[in-house]
Structure 1
Amino acid sequence: MNCFRTLALFLTLCLGLQAMPSLADDEQIASGSGDPVYQVQSPPAYSMIADLVIARPFLVAATAVGAVVFVVSLPFTALGGNVKDAGKALVVDPGKAAFVRCLGCTGDGYGKRE
């Protein structure tokens, strides 16, 4: 082999091996693998600001309104036997989104191991 072909082969192998870790990261993101308890998200600054100024006040209000609706509907949900489901849907889920979720994140950021 001449010098040019050897150098080209060497550079191709080096560049190919350098791309492997980034391809592995993309594969993990696409397959959803990772730590099942905590998924790290790094949202941009504008997303954090919009979440703080717009979304969080609405979520806190939704939690308060959901608590009132839950108390009003409590006799009916008790007769139906789904108090736990109603409480989770009306109070716990908006409360988790308002207080547990990281600033600017789209998911909960926290999940229990089963």
Structure 2
Amino acid sequence: MRLLRQTTALAAGLLMSVSAMAATDYNSYQEEKPGYLAMMGDLIIARPMLLAVTAVGAAAFVVSLPFSAAGGNIGEAGHELVVRPGAETFVRCLGCTRAGYGRKQQDENL
């Protein structure tokens, strides 16, 4: 029971830090103008699925941690299993197709 609580706490900590880590990896600028249907589909279908993939990836990362440490690729495993799905979940404008802050700020045009 104690191991389950520790693993859950570790996974929750990883999930909370995903958006900060992903923002540093995926900060390239891409302008997109998604429509209503793209935004609704993203909100209702894609984001919940990506959140589930991020949670499963975080759990897989925790399980694979001893093997990744033995192989010397903890960073690559964390990036592929947690950061990339997290970036697609949290660091993407609603309805956009690629990660990154793709919407222009209104103040830039003034």
Measured against the shorter chain, the TM-score band is: 0.5 to 0.7
CA distance in structure 2 between the partners assigned to 1:37 and 1:69 by the alignment: 28
Determine which of 19, 25, 40 is the counterpart of 1:49.
40
Give the % identical residues.
60
* 1:76-106 Cα deviation digits (max 9, x unpaired): 0000011000000000001010001111111
| Corresponding position: 1:67 with 2:65 | no
TM alignment of 1:1-114, pairs within 5 A: 37-110=28-101
Runs of 4 or more above 4 Å deviation:
none
CA distance in structure 1 between the partners assigned to 2:88 and 2:35 by the alignment: 18
User: Counterpart in 1 of 2:23?
Assistant: none
Kindly state the Cα deviation for residue 37 of structure 1 after the two structures are TM-superposed. 3.2
Asked which structure has the greater CA Rg, the reply is 1
Q: Gaps spanning 5+ residues in structure 1: where?
A: 1-35
CA distance in structure 2 between the partners assigned to 1:101 and 1:37 by the alignment: 11
Query: What's the C-alpha RMSD, in Å, of the aligned pairs?
Result: 1.7
CA distance in structure 2 between the partners assigned to 1:49 and 1:84 by the alignment: 34
Which structure has more RCO (C-alpha within 8 Å, separation ≥ 6)?
2
Q: Gaps spanning 5+ residues in structure 2: where?
A: 1-26, 102-110
TM-score w.r.t. length of structure 2: 0.65
Kept in 2: contact 1:40–1:109 (CA 8 A): no
TM-score w.r.t. length of structure 1: 0.63
CA distance in structure 2 between the partners assigned to 1:49 and 1:101 by the alignment: 14
The total of aligned residue pairs comes to 76
User: Counterpart in 2 of 1:22?
Assistant: none
